[in-house]
Amino acid sequence: MIIYLRVLKESFNFAINALKNNRLRTFLSLLGVTIGIFSIIAVLAAVDSLKKEIEGTISTLDNSTIIIMRFSFGPTDIPRWKWQQFPDVTYEEYQYLKRNLPNIEAISYSLNVPATSIRFEEKSVSNVEIGAVTHEYFDIEALQIANGRVFNESESISGTPIVILGDEIAENLFGSSDPIGKKVRFYGRKFIVIGVLKKEGSGIFGNSKDTAIFLPVNMTRKIYGDNNKSTFPQIIIKPEKGVDNAEFIAILKQKMRLSRGLKFDKVDTFFVNQLKGFTDFIDNITRQMNIMGLIISGFSLLVGGFGIANIMFVSVKERTSLIGIQKSLGAKNRFILFQFLFEAVILAIIGGLIGLILVYFVSIIASQFTGDFEFILSPWNMFIGTSISAIIGLISGILPAISASKLDPVEAIRTGM
């Protein structure tokens, strides 16, 4: 064990000397490894950051959440012209499912409606997102209330003119004063503020509950009606925990088909979208992005590997006499082999560490220009970068190390002289 530590120490010293004595040559040779590691880790870090941001955006919804609408989250076998003719889900269908669908923890009806402007006295905020939902929505999405309350079943059914404000909306309209009980104006009507959401921060796509407001869906239905093409209704369902997913969806489709009077030979005129399917879709995309990044970066690593191999062959030639002396003094072939292998690995790791440092600084700079989106250089990605560097060094150093270990001591000393 001690002898290998000695070999490692000597190899480290030789690697450092190579860097000092032949700075330009070593720099150019390690450049390929540096660029390759930089590319790989930059891609992995960017993809991980993107995935974390997307997951954070939908983290308030349970992974088992099901959304029924006339559009599909992903690809479908139904032709576009056909599904574009599907009818929207209705409030009556929501009520029907609520009464007849078993194993439901919560079910809500919502309308996606155009953004609007909201006023309080002389202050106003434009482009405010509207969350028009039934009261059960707050049992599905884990929204946190910082002040006040959510609306109840009675207020939801009657369409009471009340509203819950996002943090940023409340801040812009009321500043440091308490907005609860105050009246804001939009849709040409007055709404009483009953709650303020906890600050969330903006998402990667600029979407955030901080710039949204929530009100009873039946209030919105009074304004837009049920056949307005500018609205987009959906039924959101959260199944009970432990329920068989496939069985639940089969019963759900059966109930929807029964509600719509569809015959057995007719296709479903609605889509049952699973949030889990969406997250799986995101995972698949990020996996493909990682693979593409690895393939592209692999070319840089290939060049870097040849560069390190070149350094090591030159190093063997320059130290031929020293190798001969070491062998004449009893150094075994294995000692010489490991000496050069360790040196190649150390050189590659140095190049990889430079690449990691570059990624670190680039991630800091990039985070400054992307607002709340944060690029993350995780310890796992750092480990991957270091490991890949070591493997490249090991592969690149095999042939030079073998050639060094097989040198005849007498011939090596004579050649060196």
For residue 216, pLDDT over 90 is answered with: yes
Query: What digits encode the pLDDT tens for the residues 119-175?
Result: 988 888 888 889 899 999 988 887 888 889 999 999 999 999 999 999 889 999 988
From the list 270, 271, 251, the residue with the least C-alpha distance to 260 is: 270
For residue 59, pLDDT over 60 is answered with: no
pLDDT reported for residue 203: 52
- Average pLDDT over every residue of 54-65: 61
Q: Give the range with max mean pLDDT: 133-147, 291-305, 353-367.
A: 133-147
- Average pLDDT over every residue of 343-351: 81
For residue 325, pLDDT over 50 is answered with: yes
Q: Kindly report the average pLDDT of the chain as a whole number.
A: 80
- Average pLDDT over every residue of 39-68: 70
Query: What digits encode the pLDDT tens for the residues 132-144?
Result: 999 999 888 878 8
Query: What digits encode the pLDDT tens for the residues 243-268?
Result: 888 899 899 999 999 999 988 888 88
Question: Beta strand 123-133 with 212-216: parallel, antiparallel or unpaired?
Answer: parallel
Alpha-carbon Rg of the chain, whole angstroms? 32
Residues 271-288 as b or e (16 or more Cβ within 10 Å = b): bbbbbeebbeeeeeebee
From the list 150, 135, 140, 165, the residue with the least C-alpha distance to 60 is: 140
pLDDT reported for residue 84: 83
For residue 310, pLDDT over 70 is answered with: yes
Does the pTM surpass 0.75? The reply is: no
pLDDT reported for residue 22: 66
pLDDT reported for residue 99: 92
pLDDT reported for residue 93: 92
Contact 392, 350 (CB under 8 A): no
pLDDT reported for residue 299: 72
pLDDT reported for residue 52: 67
pLDDT reported for residue 332: 75
For residue 19, pLDDT over 70 is answered with: no
> What is the band of 204 on the pLDDT scale with cuts at 50, 70, 90?
very low
Name the DSSP class of 85: T
- Average pLDDT over every residue of 305-311: 79
pLDDT reported for residue 20: 65
pLDDT reported for residue 365: 78
pLDDT reported for residue 206: 47
Please state the domain extents for the chain.
Answer: 2-57+283-416, 87-269
pLDDT reported for residue 155: 92
Query: What digits encode the pLDDT tens for the residues 375-384?
Result: 677 777 788 8
For residue 286, pLDDT over 60 is answered with: yes
Q: Which residue has the higher pLDDT, 153 or 374?
A: 153
Contact 316, 309 (CB under 8 A): no
pLDDT reported for residue 185: 92
Cα-Cα-Cα-Cα dihedral sign, residues 313, 314, 317, 319: negative
Residue with tokens 């599909």: 72
Contact 172, 125 (CB under 8 A): yes
Question: Beta strand 212-216 with 162-165: parallel, antiparallel or unpaired?
Answer: antiparallel
pLDDT reported for residue 372: 54
pLDDT reported for residue 78: 82
